[in-house]
Chains A and B, each alone.
Chain A
Amino acid sequence: MSNLTKILIVLLTISVIFLCGIVVTYVANADNYKQKYAQLNSERDSLEKDKESLNNQLKEKIQQKDDLEKSLNGQLATLKTRADDLQAKINTVERERAELLERVNGWASITKDFQATTEKQTQLLTTAQEDLKQLKAEEIKLGKELEQTSAALVEKTAIIEAAETEKRRLIEEKADLQNQLDNTMQAGGKAASAGTPVTQEKGHALPAKTTAAAINLKGLISEVDVKNSLATISIGSADGVKEGMKFHVTRGNEFVCDVLIVDVDTEKAVGVLELVQAATGGPKVGDNAATNL
């Protein structure tokens, strides 16, 4: 074996080892492109999905934007209308404000006049209050006098009541005496006329003078009940007829009988027949009846 062959073998061995080392190092450190490809592919798929979802969201947002734009346009139109209305109202209110300012100015002048009047009225009120105080003082004085007068009045009233009681008692006694006198005088066809009392002393009534006066009532026999001895005359209490009166019945110049009144009506009276003259045939309708012959 020549030396050249030996040298070539050695160089071959060294180069083989060197190149193989390089290859092994390169292969050991080489990237896994398949794995990277799969990873990138999955990332691409996920990004495409994200893109689709973002596109959908974008469409939704665009739709929402359109809807919102429509609604805002509607609201804008409404607001413009309201703004026009409000502008018209503002104009109206400004006119009213101007009118109210004029009225306020008028009321201010009126208020000034009213204040002046009020001051005058206040002065008058003060004067009136002073007068009122004086009147109240006078009222108090008058009230005291009134109380005194009332007390005196009560005393006088008690005295008057006592006098009234006495007066009533005397009137009752007078009526009783008048009745007794009438009964006494009616039998004779007379009645006592009312006298005029004369009071000589204060608080004491004097007895009235009594004078006999003819009653002079005249009527006609209107009904005869011979069986019961009763007769009815054509006058009653309206003409002054009273129970107990006695009427004389005549026919022409003849005395027929007497009628003693026992029942009195307003326009007639019924009495009992007395002293009937048999020669005349008894009383008949149309005969005269009078208290005095």
Chain B
Amino acid sequence: MSPEVQIRSTKPAAMSNLYTALLAISFGVVLATAAFVAVKCYFIYETLFKIP
């Protein structure tokens, strides 16, 4: 069995769902951190990007 044959015959699929989950967790953590920082900044300074 050759590798070219295998590529042609099957759909591309993730090599492992574990690493996809790790990437998803990382993305979620970054997103949650950004949201937390934004909320905190808004409640304290009542703006997100301006310097009060």
Interface residues of A (CB under 8 A from B): 1, 5-6, 9-10, 12-13, 16-17, 20, 23-24, 27-28, 30, 32, 34
Q: What number of B residues sit within 8 Å (CB to CB) of A? A: 18
Cβ A34 vs Cβ B19 within 8 A: no
Q: Report yes or no: B30 in contact with A16, Cβ–Cβ below 8 A.
A: yes
How far apart are A140's CB and chain B's nearest CB, in angstroms? 135
Residues in A with CB closer than 8 Å to B32 are 20
B48 at interface, CB cutoff 8 A:
no
Could you list 4 further interchain pairs (A-B, Cβ under 8 angstroms) beyond the known A30-B40, A34-B45?
A20-B29, A20-B32, A24-B36, A27-B40
Q: Which residue of A lies closest to B32 (CB)?
A: A20
Per-residue CB proximity of B7-44 to A under 8 Å, as 1/0?
00000000110010011011001101100110011001
- Minimal beta-carbon separation of A166 from chain B (angstroms): 161
A-B contact pairs, 20 of them (CB 8 A): A1-B15, A1-B16, A6-B16, A6-B19, A9-B19, A9-B22, A9-B23, A10-B19, A12-B23, A12-B26, A16-B30, A20-B32, A23-B33, A23-B37, A24-B36, A27-B36, A27-B37, A28-B40, A30-B44, A34-B44
Q: Is B52 an interface residue (CB 8 A)?
A: yes
Residues of B contacting A13 in the complex (Cβ-Cβ under 8 angstroms): 22-23, 25-26
* Closest chain B residue to A10, Cβ basis: B22
Cβ contacts under 8 Å, A9 to chain B: 19, 22-23
Distance, CA A32 to CA B15, complexed state (A): 47
Cα distance, A285 to B37, chains bound together (Å): 188
A20→B40 CA distance, assembly (Å): 15
User: What is the CB-to-nearest-CB distance from B40 to chain A, in angstroms, rounded to a whole number?
Assistant: 5
Nearest chain B CB to A31 CB, angstrom units? 9
Q: A32 vs B43: C-alpha distance in the bound complex, in angstroms?
A: 10
B29 in contact with A17 (CB, 8 Å): yes
How distant is the Cα of A13 from the Cα of B30 in the complex, in angstroms? Answer: 10
The answer for the CA separation of A20 and B30 in the assembled complex, in Å, is: 6
Given contacts A6-B19, A27-B40, A34-B44, contact A16 B52 (CB under 8 A): no
A16 touching B37 in the complex, CB below 8 Å, given contacts A6-B19, A9-B22? no
| Bound-state Cα–Cα, A24 to B41, Å | 12
A20 to B36, alpha carbons, bound, how many Å?
10
- Minimum distance in angstroms from A26 CB to a CB of chain B: 9
A1 to B33, CA, bound (A): 29
Contacts of B25 in A (CB 8 A): 13, 17
- Given the complex of chains A and B, what is the CA–CA distance between A20 and B33 in angstroms? 6
Output the least CB separation between A1 and chain B (Å). 4
A32 and B44 form a contact (CB under 8 A)? yes
A13 to B24, CA, bound (A): 9
A33 to chain B, nearest CB (A): 8
Cα A30 to Cα B37 with chains together (Å): 11
A65 nearest CB across to chain B (Å):
48
Question: Whole-angstrom distance from the CB of B20 to the nearest CB of chain A?
Answer: 9
A22 and chain B: residue at smallest CB distance: B33
